[in-house]
Amino acid sequence: MRIVSAPRLAFLLALTTAGALVRAAQAKPLPRLRVSENHRFLVTEKGKPFFWLGDTAWELLHRLNREEVIRYLDSRRKQGFTVVQTVGLAEIEGLGDPNALGASALVDGDPSRPAVTPGSDPKDAAQYDYWDHVDYAVDQAALRGIYIALLPTWGRWVNGPGEVFTPENARTYGEFLGKRYGPKNVIWVLGGDRNPDEPRVQAIWRAMAEGIQRGAGGPNAVLMTFHPTGSATSSTWFHDDPWLDLNMQQNGHCTDTDVWNRIGRDYARTPVKPVLDGEPLYEDHPICFDAKERGYSDAYEVRKFAYWDVFAGACGHTYGNHSIWQMHAPSHGGGINGPLNYWYEAIDHPGSKQMQFVRKLIESRPMLRRVPDQALLASDAGTEGEHVQATRASDGSYAFVYLPLGRPVKVHMSRISGKEASASWYDPRTGVTKRIGSYQATGEREFTPPSMGRGHDWVLVLDAVGR
């Protein structure tokens, strides 16, 4: 009988477990996503609610090797993220500079000629091409229950310095991507920080959308949106296009932007479509790009946007970190706009760990009934950084009120159904709930949070007793 040492046994078990996980992922791909019946949220193909908790990793496919991809994805799985936003043809010299393994995305920078080679062995550089590496990241994300929100290209390559796209090659490139990733855990995001104000640019994006749909097997096979520049929304150009399933906004990198109004405007549009803030203020980002005068953002600033956006009607939220979106590392010099850390240091920063708590709160109640409801407030909602945002179930079974400064709030208790409401405080920093008590669901009542001031944000939770 052969005796296997403990370290060797652990190694073999790890291999076996990893192999089993890979086989499970291949046998059971993540369910397709679609828009809910009320057109406000995302659900799986069987109707299970899906909360978009995204992280911004624009340079993931371009700058990280295989081991680094795993390190990044493992961190995001543990932190509860459900979506990772990244780019096929990256912004930072994505056409000129090869990826971390030395492979280029296109032949001679031509979008109609993706650089693909026979085989996919990562030990053989002649086989393991750029798109094999994209396959690897997409599959590893699926293994961890994460969807990839894939931008086929950053916007600069469509309208900006070095643009290479036409409607014809955009359609061809889109079809290549649709065929390759249509059956996988991919959400499609056109755009990339450029606004398509010119008709010729809009034609390119529409052709790319058509190509993706054709390659993936038709419009019903994909979920698609568009990422614009700061202070903009996809609805400006494409709201009535049938390929645009949900609206995406970029609300930019300043503090206390009135995102509740911006989300509200898209929420009120017809035809009704889900809306999402796909790029708010990143953690550790120079505030309004002015670090000298305004400093850098922190976890509190990014938390505010998450709760303001979601409570105003968004179907989820995207977080970002200034070091992570660009995957900043020692080999990248000073980075773009002064990142404070390397990406592998920033993955555990407080804001990234705290995003899971907004997801947990929303998923703790029937989320498909949720509507924004400022009529719940009996006191002033406030402006800018003091803004109080309320949401509740359409049947009155629960309500949430976000207080960015922990100040007292007065609510109309009659917005809760039944005779009695149970009240509690939810801590956005820890996800811990502290019960307050039960009260008659009539008249007005004031609630004072456990603490007040900057960084002491709270959510008032009201539940109809018996519901």
Over residues 404-419, the pLDDT tens digits come to 999 999 999 999 999 9
pLDDT given for residue 4 in this prediction = 38
pLDDT given for residue 29 in this prediction = 87
pLDDT in tens, 227-259: 999 999 999 999 999 999 999 999 999 999 999
pLDDT in tens, 182-227: 999 999 999 999 999 999 999 999 999 999 999 999 999 999 999 9
Please, are residues 85 and 318 in contact by the beta-carbon 8 Å criterion?
yes
Q: What is the mean pLDDT of residues 99-121?
A: 98
Q: Show the tokens assigned to 316.
A: 């989820």
Please give the backbone phi and psi of residue 409, each rounded to the nearest 5 degrees, phi first. Answer: -135, 145
Instruction: Say how far apart CA 370 and CA 376 lie, in whole Å.
Output: 13
* Burial class of 363 by CB neighbour count within 10 A (0 to 12, 13 to 18, 19+): middle
- pLDDT over 90 for what percent of the chain? 93
Instruction: Say how far apart CA 164 and CA 399 lie, in whole Å.
Output: 49
Closest CA to 243 of 213, 274, 266, 214: 213
Please, are residues 187 and 274 in contact by the beta-carbon 8 Å criterion?
no
pLDDT given for residue 193 in this prediction = 98
Please, are residues 88 and 150 in contact by the beta-carbon 8 Å criterion?
yes
Instruction: Say how far apart CA 346 and CA 353 lie, in whole Å.
Output: 11
Cis peptide leading into 271, omega within 30 of 0? yes
Please, are residues 372 and 390 in contact by the beta-carbon 8 Å criterion?
yes
pLDDT given for residue 5 in this prediction = 40
Q: Show the tokens assigned to 50.
A: 């899906």
Please, are residues 111 and 169 in contact by the beta-carbon 8 Å criterion?
yes
Kindly indicate the confidence band of residue 6, based on its pLDDT and cuts at 50, 70 and 90: very low
pLDDT in tens, 334-393: 999 999 999 999 999 999 999 999 999 999 999 999 999 999 999 999 999 999 999 999
Please, are residues 385 and 453 in contact by the beta-carbon 8 Å criterion?
no
| Mean residue pLDDT across the chain | 94
Please say if the pLDDT value at position 24 is more than 50: no
Cα end-to-end span (Å), the chain? 61
Amino acid making up residue 371: V
Q: Show the tokens assigned to 135.
A: 């396959």
pLDDT in tens, 396-452: 999 999 999 999 999 999 999 999 999 999 999 999 999 999 999 999 999 999 999
**pTM strictly above 0.85:** yes
pLDDT given for residue 347 in this prediction = 98
Instruction: Say how far apart CA 273 and CA 299 lie, in whole Å.
Output: 30
Please, are residues 91 and 193 in contact by the beta-carbon 8 Å criterion?
yes
Query: What interhelical angle do 199-216 and 167-181 show, nearest 10?
Result: 30
pLDDT in tens, 130-174: 999 999 999 999 999 999 999 999 999 999 999 999 999 999 999
Going by DSSP bridges, is the β-strand pair 398-403/458-464 parallel, antiparallel, or unpaired? Answer: antiparallel
Q: Which whole-number Å values give the CA distances from 337 to 28, 183, 292, 299, 413, in the listed order? A: 41, 37, 11, 19, 47
pLDDT given for residue 467 in this prediction = 78
Return the H-helix or E-strand segment holding 304.
Answer: helix 299-311
Which region holds residue 161: left if phi is over 0, alpha if psi is between -120 and 50, else beta?
A: beta
Q: What is the mean pLDDT of residues 273-283?
A: 98
Buried b (16+ CB within 10 A) or exposed e, 108-138: eeebbebeeeeeeeeeeeeebbbbbbbbbbb
Please say if the pLDDT value at position 115 is more than 50: yes
Kindly indicate the confidence band of residue 93, based on its pLDDT and cuts at 50, 70 and 90: very high
Closest CA to 84 of 103, 58, 115: 58
Q: Which whole-number Å values give the CA distances from 4 to 1, 12, 15, 286, in the listed order? A: 10, 10, 15, 54
